[in-house]
Amino acid sequence: MSDKTTQKSALVVSAHSADFVWRAGGAIALHGERGYQMHIVCLSFGERGESAKLWRKGEMTEEKVKAVRREEATAAAEILGATIEFFDLGDYPLRCDKETLFRLADVYRRVQPHFVLTHSLQDPYNYDHPQATHLAQEARIIAQAEGYRPGEKIVGAPPVYCFEPHQPEQCNWKPDVLLDITAVWQKKYRAIQCMQGQEHLWEYYTRVALQRGVQAQRNIGITADKKITHGEDYQSIFPRVTEDLS
Ligand SMILES: [Zn+2]
């Protein structure tokens, strides 16, 4: 582990407790293995909207569902090599006040992320996901402001990457980053298997990873030495600043 002052870090803002696993588990594992401090904020447990299998068991309460979801997400984060915290804001609907924005801004200040992962800007199937994106972006901007808690170290301008929504064609999804997660796919799949309440998605997200892997390979050339089998795709919000276009 590298020194705290030089260690790189990243922040993942997830609307519900499993979203980060399906959509960004590869990126989290990959950077975790490279020594990044990966920190996840789950704004809610997805207790109402994304825990259908648990509710169907009967004799469930919201508290019980939340406890299971917390356990699953904590286990997944551990496999991926990340720390995790839960804001417990409730879902369907996910709403937040000023205090929550400040709470998230304080996480930015503490983590000092080198990049941020969150949801897509649009998702007509799920209002909580874009809500999480707006919250992540607004808190980032507050954390950049010199006038917010003056004297504290402000955050720089970490790039924000949106992760793939569940039904991308309906979300105006146009990825501009394909991430090779071949080396960590097994780790991601182990994290996926922590999500016992959403077993119907395991196979689905395996197919997504394979599909994105094929596309990643095509975009570096099918004859390239590097062989990519699994991928994740992202859409960046801000332009990437570089001195090298190759
Ligand atoms: Zn979700």
- For every one of its 246 residues, what pLDDT tens digit does the chain have, with 9 covering 90 and above? 445 568 999 999 999 999 999 999 999 999 999 999 999 999 999 999 988 888 998 888 999 999 999 999 999 999 999 999 999 999 999 999 999 999 999 999 999 999 999 999 999 999 999 999 999 999 999 999 999 999 999 999 999 999 999 999 999 999 999 999 999 999 999 999 999 888 889 999 999 999 999 999 999 998 989 999 999 999 999 999 999 998
Query: How far, in Å, from the CA of 163 to the mean position of ligand 1?
Result: 12
Backbone angles phi, psi at 29, to 5 degrees: -65, -45
Q: What confidence score (pLDDT) does residue 203 get?
A: 96
Tokens of 164: 């793939």
Q: Could you tell me if 119 and 19 are in contact, meaning their C-beta atoms sit under 8 angstroms apart? A: yes
Q: What confidence score (pLDDT) does residue 1 get?
A: 47
Query: How far, in Å, from the CA of 40 to the mean position of ligand 1?
Result: 14
Q: What confidence score (pLDDT) does residue 145 get?
A: 98
Q: At what angle do helices 98-111 and 128-144 cross, to 10 degrees?
A: 60
What does DSSP assign to residue 94?
-
Tokens of 40: 């996840």
The residue type of 216 is A
Q: Which helix (H) or strand (E) holds 106?
A: helix 98-111
What does DSSP assign to residue 65?
H
Query: How far, in Å, from the CA of 226 to the mean position of ligand 1?
Result: 33
Query: How far, in Å, from the CA of 210 to the mean position of ligand 1?
Result: 21
Query: How far, in Å, from the CA of 130 to the mean position of ligand 1?
Result: 10
Report the alpha-carbon distance of residue 201 to residue 68 in Å, rounded: 17
What does DSSP assign to residue 170?
G
Angle, vertex CA 34, rays to CA 174 and CA 102, nearest 5: 65
Query: How far, in Å, from the CA of 91 to the mean position of ligand 1?
Result: 9
Map residue 81 onto helix, strand or coil: coil
Q: What confidence score (pLDDT) does residue 86 get?
A: 98
Q: Would the CA dihedral through 125, 136, 114, 20 be positive or negative?
A: negative
Q: What confidence score (pLDDT) does residue 58 get?
A: 86
Backbone angles phi, psi at 4, to 5 degrees: -55, -35
Map residue 119 onto helix, strand or coil: coil
Tell whether pTM > 0.85.
Answer: yes
- CA of 3: how far to CAs of 6, 20, 31, 113, in Å? 6, 26, 16, 15
